[in-house]
Amino acid sequence: FVAGRTCAREALHALGYPATALPVEEDRRPAWPDGVVGSIAHSGEWATAIAVDRGRFAGIGVDLEQDEPLEKDLYAMVLRPEERQLLSQSTNPDFSAVDVAKLIFSIKEASYKAVSHRIGRWVDFQDASVSITFEDREFVTSFLSSAVTTDEPLTSARGTFGHAEGYVVTVAYLPGPGCF
């Protein structure tokens, strides 16, 4: 927790904000300054944070997971039927079928962080479907229409993923006004 907040303070400093403590919302989400969207992740011995101007992105999320197989008993909770097909269809040598399940878990975590501040709640794993382009290390998370409701149309998040030091790292974003 402390390491994640330290990373967040550094991310804010890089945007030109003074070094101050980042308050905690009631649901333990960080309370980013007005005009900023950001995200914190920590796992094992590592922590990271990302912060960007709200004019550039409407939401951003980062996730960091130890690169270990997702427990099989979590498959039913995390994976939708169309995502289970990705487990056997992946031909990318960087990811085994089990690693793809963990990657989908991490993608959904990052995507939920990107959208949660906009809708004011967390989204269930079954409320989103992930498609992955392994060659480009890109993904799209499509939200079910009934799961994510805002005053603006919000149908998907995009992002990228990779490996670092035995961890799966994912970053999801919602484009801001006039972007992309």
For residue 141, is pLDDT > 60?
yes
pLDDT tens digits, 1-11: 888 888 999 99
Record the tokens describing residue 61, joined without a space. Answer: 């999320």
Give the single-character DSSP code of 6: H
Rounded to the nearest integer, the mean pLDDT of the chain is: 85
Secondary structure (3-state) at 132: strand
CA–CA distance from 133 to each of 28, 74, 120, 146 (Å)? 32, 23, 29, 26
Question: pTM to 2 decimals?
Answer: 0.88
Among residues 164, 180, 171, which one has the least CA distance to residue 139?
171
